[in-house]
Amino acid sequence: GQQVMQIPQYQHVQEGEDFTTYCNSSTTLSNIQWYKQRPGGHPVFLIQLVKSGEVKKQKRLTFQFGEAKKNSSLHITATQTTDVGTYFCAGTGNQFYFGTGTSLTVIP
């Protein structure tokens, strides 16, 4: 079946540092979505990327979709303690396949 891997699995950063998580799929994706899950919470939709090479920004967050539509990245500039949580990509082929997630800890 489809595999969606994310690296790193865990990331600890000092507040103010940047953070990047990478998402890689074994197959070409129709589109990719990113979700954030706060500790003890449920996944919350952040954004969707559809086009090859697409880049979208939400304030300090920058999302990219690879040219081959098999990988994606999420970059957070100048992390804040409110960024703590696990970030999942979800690739859509015939189903929503969630990635393995990257758990971000921000040290004040």
Examine residue 100 and tell whether it contacts other proteins (CB under 8 A): yes
Count of C-beta atoms within a 10 Å radius of residue 22: 18
Q: Does 85 bind other proteins (CB under 8 A)?
A: no
Nearer to other proteins, 39 or 108 (CB): 39
Using CB under 8 A as the binding rule, the residues of this chain from 49 to 68 that contact other proteins are: 50
The window from 11-19, 45-53, 55-63, 65-73 that contacts other proteins (CB under 8 A) reads: 45-53
What residue type is 34 in one-letter code? W
Please give the C-alpha separations between residue 105 and each of 2, 19, 49, 59, 83, in angstroms, as whole numbers. Answer: 28, 10, 25, 19, 8
Q: How far is the CB of 44 from other proteins (least distance, A)?
A: 7
Q: Write the CB contacts of 19 (distance below 8 Å, at least 6 apart in sequence).
A: 11, 13, 75, 76, 79, 83, 104
Establish if 95 lies at the interface with other proteins (CB under 8 A): yes
Distance CA 22, CA 5 (A): 8
Which residues of the shown chain bind other proteins in the complex (CB under 8 A)?
1, 30-31, 33, 35, 37, 41-45, 48, 50, 88, 90, 92-101
